[in-house]
Amino acid sequence: MTSSGKRKYKARPESWGALRKLPSGRYQASYLHEGERYNAPHTFDAMGDARAWLASVRSDIQRGRWRDPRSAQAETFENYAAVWLSQRVSVKGEPLRPRTRTEYTRQLSRGLSEFGSDDIQKITPARVRAWHSGRLTEAGATAAGREAALLRAILGTAVTDGIIDRNPVDSKLTRSSSGRSHRPPTLEELSVIVDHFAENEPRLRLAVLLAAYGGLRMSEWRALRRRDLTIDGDRVIVAVTRQAQRVTGVGWITGPPKSAEGLRVVPLPAALGGDVREHLASHVGRFPDDLLFAPLRRSEFLDDSQFNAAWNAAREAAGVRVRHGDGWVSVVREHDLRHFALSFYAATGATLAELKARAGHSTNQAAMIYQHAVVDRAAELADAMPLLPVAPKRVVQLNSTTAPDGTAAAGPI
């Protein structure tokens, strides 16, 4: 007892850290690190449990995985995500593109806002599954999957930082497929689409051809200017040096293509030379900086909505966009025109390196998506190869002292 009448409980020295038994009979553990004393976040029923906790903390310190528990306990998802986004870079160490950063910000303020005030350490797999199930109903598979992918990326960094032991977001939740299958158009369907544009929106007909035969992304072809085309007879070469994207709340952003490899020159089929010349003469101004596809009204570039009206009508004419219930089902998207271009380019015999160069891909994996046509053709040719004829069975008779005719046998027959 002390002079004040209060009982003093002495900490029991350990090989590392300290333990003390409380009046309740439970044990409290603490340790010193860099001149500061830290208590366990809870008490323990048994001394052995407290010692095991001390051992785990000491192991984290030795491995460089220790994190100040006071800061970890104060870490909310909203605060951590804001810092994560401000420090995030691409796989190549470059700052995030404005559109990507804006999309992440939108997802954090909407679908992921439910986790905003949560302590990161208390976000459990069950909590994430319940949230994802609700998002599937509210926003659909695509939005739920993309939001889950962002959540998994942020909490993956929290694992690296030592705030949590494992990522509570199952990779299966990041799937963004809605179950609808998409495919490139057939030659017949593409012909109907192009003809529909020629009759109803001729100023955008070349955009379809650039996507379907040049493999240009929509953000790339709408940023093209007259000076980006080099014409030599019927041969037209397109220099892809920029893209234009509209970012909600920001406006139009122009910059280099999606990747460094996106800077490229794309020769078009010679048969399209006449189409390009006609478009330049009828729909493009005479100055080098005039856009190939002039926007309507006061927009800086051709907006998605300005293209989609004609695009949807053309797809309906080709039968690749049909009404289903209260909505529409589209089996061919604008991006599938690029798939059409690269698949047929691969089928002509283009090597993987040539395919990457034309598509502006930085990885073999991305280019391999379009090489299925090569594999299918190779399989077809393999099946056409002549096979060996079935040979008659050869009978071999072992040496014997006499042959069937009674004469001496010299060896196998």
Please identify every residue annotated as catalytic: 217, 335, 338, 361, 370
DSSP 5-71: SPPP-PPEE-SSSEEEE-TTS-EEEEEEETTEEEE-SS-BSSHHHHHHHHHHHHHHHHHT----HHH
DSSP 207-226: HHHHHHHH---HHHHTT-BG
DSSP 242-285: -EEEEETTTEEEEES-SSGGG-EEEEPPGGGHHHHHHHHHHHS-
Tokens read off for 201: 């929106």
Residue among 360, 176, 194 nearest 266 (CA)? 360
Tokens read off for 396: 């071999």
Helix (H) / strand (E) element for 229: namely: strand 229-232
Q: Could you tell me the end-to-end alpha-carbon distance of the chain, in angstroms, rounded to an integer?
A: 112
Q: In whole angstroms, give the CA distance from residue 161 to residue 151.
A: 15
